[in-house]
Amino acid sequence: MAWSGREALVQSELIFGAEFPSATRDDWLKLTSAVLKGAAYDSRLVTRSYDGLMLDALPPRAENSEPVEARAAGAPWRIAVRADHPDLDTANRLALDDLVGGASLLTLVLADSPTAYGFGLQVGTPDDLDRVLSGVDLGMIGLRIEGGADLVPILAGNQGMTADALDVSFGLDPLGTAVVRGVFSRPWAETEKTLAKTAKNLRASGIRGSLFSADGRPYHAAGAGAAQELAAALATALAYIRALADNGIPADMAASSIEFTLAADANQIETTAKFRAIRLLWSALMREIGSADHPTIVHAETAWRMMTRLDPHTNILRATIAGFAAGVGGADSMTILPFSQAIGLPDGFARRLARNTHAILIEEASIHRVADPAAGAGAFEAYTDQLAERAWDLFLDIERAGGMAAALASGWWQSEVRKTATARAQDIASGATPIVGTTVFPPSNPLATAVLQPVRPAVESPFNALALPPSRLSEPHEASGP
């Protein structure tokens, strides 16, 4: 499989462009030379990513480019919020506040999810689920589930609604769970059969939403580069398609069961390019397996990796940049983590601020009005293509290692991510990569930040499982769901 890139289409000239004098790249370079005061252009305005990609701040306009097909023009992303408070009645109250305040997608974060950050819902019976969803009109909103394999039969059969009326993404991701926990719950061959059985049962019940999540967040949180995150998500998606296809589910139907979840961080150009690149990678994969080009849902969540505890209010700025970048990149839905998430369970104020960040980006900035606003911009186009090409090469490396499950079981993929994470940590320690509010301009008197419950020290970094001895992943333990 070779990366085939994009077919170029002629882009029509913008009418209002004629009102402005044309400017060449040389014109821009002359202006920058005065600002740089003799410093070399490449040393100041060309940067290298942790994936080894070069980003020129002033590349020429991308001629004959076409928009990357994602959200339609004028369609805002869905505003997602988390239900993660261990007390089910409190979780319900907070969720209702968010839904009344404009959210349209509720994520049920179960306690066994890697993204529960030490908290999460304990839902074991239909009554538990009824408490969480009391007063929630499931005909008006969508549901996402994280870490809830055992919730599948409860939700599929106990909500007093026909299954085909439920707008639900089940988010099953056994590979993501395994890499975070450092152990597979059962041999992968058995998990493949369980995944296929679960998919057949859900489809037979009338469930129409996505069933499996190819989640890049664990790798991003562990320090991966953007191309590594994309490659891991794509290889995970193929592993699930293969698992279903090998157990009697056509590849087309299997592909329609996948959604992607990616981290959005404060590197604006990289984040936008990453969300554009995943669409190109998915289309390339569909061509390679001979499947129709199924549109896929891409969910964004602002990055856990960029959250700081020392000066948490700076997280508001980072989350705004990340949300903007993912929105421009075409995310279908998005969770903006409240600024105090790394300290503990966010209170109503922090949740409202996160929710209102969506509202400002959509209702005031109107960044959803244009389909793929980055199309044609040299930096975004160049980085999108570089990311897609590099991620495809890494994806092929994973395939040569036997696929995602084998790459994780051997520990090889964790070691690749760890190399990048080590380089990133060294840059932070040396000051080459500054973190505002932490390594630079730390507050002398940090403001007190209220949370509903403080995080427990034992779960401060839930993604540290990527640093566990890789051999543990080859030891199957007692089964606890797919």
CA torsion 375→376→382→383, rounded to 10°?
A: -30
Evaluate whether 270 touches 223 at the Cβ level (below 8 Å): no
CB-based burial label for 138 (10 Å; 0-12, 13-18, 19+): middle
How far apart CA 15 and CA 1 sit, in angstroms, is 41
Residues 6+ apart with CB under 8 A from 37: none
DSSP lists the bridge partners of residue 212 as 172, 258
What is the C-alpha radius of gyration for the chain, rounded to an integer number of angstroms?
22
Buried b (16+ CB within 10 A) or exposed e, 306-320: bbbbebbebbbebbb
C-alpha angle 330/77/196, rounded to 5°? 80
Most confident of 25-39, 192-206, 230-244, 436-450: 230-244
8 A C-beta contact, residue 264 and residue 224: no
Whether the pLDDT of residue 257 is over 50: the answer is yes
Say whether 357 sits in a helix, a strand or coil. Answer: helix
Confidence (pLDDT) at 38: 81
pLDDT tens per residue across span 335-366: 999 999 999 999 999 999 999 999 999 999 99
- Contact in structure between 204 and 251 (CB atoms under 8 Å): no
Q: In this predicted model, what pLDDT tens digit does every residue of 190-221 receive, in sequence order?
A: 999 999 999 998 888 778 889 999 999 999 99
Yes or no: say if 11 and 376 are a contact pair by the CB < 8 Å rule: yes
User: Which helix (H) or strand (E) element contains residue 261?
Assistant: strand 258-264
Contacts of 366 (CB under 8 A, 6+ apart): none
pLDDT digit string (tens) for 297-345? 999 999 999 999 989 999 999 999 999 999 999 999 999 999 999 999 9
pLDDT tops 60 at residue 10: no
pLDDT of residue 462: 47
Of 360 and 11, more confident:
360
Please tell me the distance from the alpha carbon of residue 119 to that of residue 451, in angstroms, as a whole number. 13
Model pLDDT, residue 478: 33
The structural domains of the chain, ordered by start, are 78-169 (3.30.750), 171-176+212-236+254-443 (3.20.20.240)
Residue 341 burial class via C-beta count within 10 angstroms: exposed 0-12, middle 13-18, buried 19 and up: buried
Query: What's the pLDDT at 457?
Result: 56
Report the C-alpha gap between 376 and 373 in whole angstroms.
Answer: 8
Q: What's the maximum distance between 2 C-alpha atoms anywhere in the chain?
A: 70
Distance CA 186, CA 199 (A): 18
pLDDT tier, 259 (very low <50, low <70, confident <90, very high otherwise): very high
DSSP state of 83: E
Share of residues in the chain with pLDDT > 90 (%): 61
Q: What is the pLDDT of residue 158?
A: 54
Supply the mean pLDDT for the chain.
Answer: 87
- Is the pTM of the predicted complex or chain greater than 0.75? yes
Number of Cβ atoms within 10 Å of the Cβ of 281 = 22
Residue 313 and residue 303: Cα distance in Å, rounded? 15
Question: So what's the pLDDT on residue 17?
Answer: 61
What are 130-185's pLDDT values in tens digits?
A: 999 999 998 899 999 998 777 777 766 554 556 667 788 999 999 999 998 888 88
> Which amino acid is present at 2?
A
Q: Which residue has the higher pLDDT, 418 or 209?
A: 418
Using CA atoms, how far apart are residues 236 and 215, in angstroms rounded to an integer?
Answer: 8
| Percent of the chain surpassing pLDDT 70 | 88
In whole angstroms, give the CA distance from residue 219 to residue 422. Answer: 13
Least confident of 10-24, 74-88, 191-205, 374-388: 10-24
